[in-house]
């Protein structure tokens, strides 16, 4: 039976939790509200302790795993305590000088959903778990999605604990803040997973919709390219005698831009390719560049277009070697496939928007999230809430409080559905 009752989500309680969380690691800024909460820091400890207090106050049984992931389980009398739980959450860490919604919204929306379902007349069959993952942002210890990759079985506990920021290991940092627990949360033991996250771009705002249901998270491939030419005097080396590494690199940048534009216009509109960093040596006005290093970031929901762009990269490098006489090297250290969201979780979110009469387009996520790791282990779904001006990872990040409440109502309804809620 479908959930038909409107679950009494308390927008004020949600806002109060988010505003309180915003105080941990708060920074001074002229515009907006910002915070710096790197994993394993005192600010992170305060944010974690507050969450634990709020979970306990809501009647959840709290556990912390070996990599500092936090879970609060709600096991009401109506449910089978041994049934696989439905889990929802996000992360509490931030980028340096980040915003207050990215992460905490998903954690506290999940907690408010549980409080609201508990306050309703609904009876659920399955336990519900509220989760906060360690180190999603990748600004300390790892590239990102640290805790969720362990829960998904994509990284071992030992490997994670040994990660270092150059001074201390994750293990030591978690010990320091008193959040190194035991065991490993296993996402494959969850019946389903849901995350609410701010959109971090302007699609929903342009569509004038408060929420969107994500159908796929893009795959990401990153390459490191080195181009070796010959450094020479800029005044005395004739054009015909040069092997200019930067001029060669420029051809590569433009070839990738052109190929991605072409694919986006014809086959897959979510395809993107970016050269986001380029360094040149010796880097002097009067010297022909002898050495260039570039980073390439390729993303799409369609693995075929990622491969086409990677092929363009390879083919362009071959041409540059032959035509310009440069030496080239290309490494591909990072390859994350696209993750489509599970039909039944996507469907539960979609149904919830219909029942609440909320206009919600389907869209893809161009950014990685904990959900992309969890999707490897269980059925996963991702819901976006509109970001003002598309700002994110900045104190300007803002989601209207009414949108936060509405998105949480969608989350609570889908969560209740997946937990087998009946009644009312």
Residues that bind Zn ion (CB under 5 A): 102-103
C-alpha distances out from residue 83 to 112, 129, 192, Å: 22, 12, 12
Nearer to Zn ion, 299 or 308 (CB): 299
Peptide bond into 282 cis (omega under 30): yes
Comparison of 320 and 385: residue with beta carbon closer to Zn ion: 385
User: Closest separation between CB of residue 101 and Zn ion, Å?
Assistant: 9
- Residue number, nearest CB to Zn ion: 102
348: Cβ contacts below 8 Å, ≥ 6 apart: 192, 194, 381, 414, 417, 418
Q: How far apart are CA 132 and CA 93, in angstroms?
A: 9
CB of 152 to Zn ion, least distance (A): 16
Q: In terms of CB distance, is 263 or 341 closer to Zn ion?
A: 341
**Shortest spacing between CB 406 and Zn ion, in angstroms:** 19
CB of 146 to Zn ion, least distance (A): 12
Measure CA of the first residue to CA of the last residue in the chain; give whole Å: 11
The nearer residue to Zn ion, 102 or 244, going by C-beta atoms, is 102
Residue 103 or 395 having the CB closest to Zn ion: 103
- Residues facing residue 243 across a β-bridge: 230
- Residue 7 has, within 13 A of its CA and on its CB side, a CA count of 33
Q: How far is the CB of 367 from Zn ion (least distance, A)?
A: 8
Task: Report, in Å, the least distance between residue 137 CB and Zn ion.
Answer: 7
Dihedral (C-alpha) 115, 65, 88, 147: value to the nearest 10 degrees? 140
Please name which of 95, 60, 88, 89 lies closest in space to residue 74, comparing C-alpha atoms. Answer: 60
Least distance between Zn ion and beta carbon 106 (Å): 7
CB of 74 to Zn ion, least distance (A): 23
> How far is Cα 378 from Cα 365, in angstroms, rounded to an integer?
18
For the record, the structure tokens of 284 come out as: 């002097």
Nearer to Zn ion, 107 or 412 (CB): 107
| Token pair listed for 126 | 């399955």
Rounded to 5, what percent of the chain is helix, strand, coil?
35, 25, 40
Beta bridge partners of 132: 70, 90
**Closer residue to Zn ion (CB): 72 or 103:** 103
Of the pair 133, 185, the CB lying nearest Zn ion is at 133
CB 66 within 8 A of CB 181: yes
């Amino acid at each position: 039976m479908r959930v038909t009752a409107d679950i009494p989500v308390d927008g004020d309680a949600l806002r109060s939790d988010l505003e309180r969380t915003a105080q941990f690691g708060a920074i001074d800024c002229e515009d907006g509200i910002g915070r710096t909460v790197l994993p394993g820091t005192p600010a992170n400890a305060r944010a974690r302790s507050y969450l634990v207090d709020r979970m306990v106050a809501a009647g959840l049984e709290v556990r912390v795993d070996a990599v500092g992931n936090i879970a609060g389980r709600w096991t009401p009398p109506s449910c089978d305590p041994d049934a696989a739980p439905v889990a929802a959450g996000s992360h509490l860490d931030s980028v340096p000088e980040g915003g207050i919604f990215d992460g905490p919204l998903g954690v506290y929306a999940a907690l408010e959903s549980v409080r609201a379902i508990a306050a309703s007349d609904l009876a659920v069959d399955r336990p519900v778990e509220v989760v906060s993952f360690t180190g999603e942002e990748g600004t300390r210890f790892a590239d990102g999605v640290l805790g969720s990759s362990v829960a998904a079985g994509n990284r071992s506990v030992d490997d994670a604990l040994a990660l270092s920021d150059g001074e201390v290991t994750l293990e030591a940092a978690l010990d320091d803040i008193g959040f190194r627990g035991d065991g490993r949360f296993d996402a494959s033991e969850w019946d389903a997973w849901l995350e609410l996250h701010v959109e971090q771009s302007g699609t929903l705002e342009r569509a004038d919709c408060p929420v969107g249901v994500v159908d796929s998270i893009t795959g990401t491939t990153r390459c490191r390219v080195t181009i070796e030419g010959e450094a020479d005097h800029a005044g005395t080396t004739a054009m015909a005698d040069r092997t200019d590494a930067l001029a060669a690199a420029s051809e590569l940048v433009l070839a990738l831009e052109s190929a991605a534009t072409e694919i986006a216009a014809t086959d897959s509109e979510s395809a993107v390719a970016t050269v986001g960093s380029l360094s040149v040596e010796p880097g002097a006005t009067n010297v022909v560049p002898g050495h260039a290093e570039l980073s390439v970031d390729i993303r799409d929901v369609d693995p075929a277009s990622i491969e086409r762009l990677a092929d363009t990269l390879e083919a362009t490098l071959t041409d540059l070697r032959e035509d310009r006489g440069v030496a080239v090297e290309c490494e591909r250290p990072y390859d994350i496939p696209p993750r489509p969201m599970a039909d039944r979780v996507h469907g539960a979110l979609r149904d919830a928007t219909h029942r609440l009469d909320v206009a919600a387009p389907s869209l893809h996520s161009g950014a990685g999230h904990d959900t992309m790791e969890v999707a490897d282990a269980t059925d996963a779904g991702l819901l976006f809430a509109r970001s003002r001006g598309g700002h994110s990872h900045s104190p300007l990040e803002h989601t209207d409080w009414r949108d936060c409440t509405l998105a949480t109502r969608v989350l609570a309804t889908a969560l209740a559905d997946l937990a087998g809620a009946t009644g009312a």
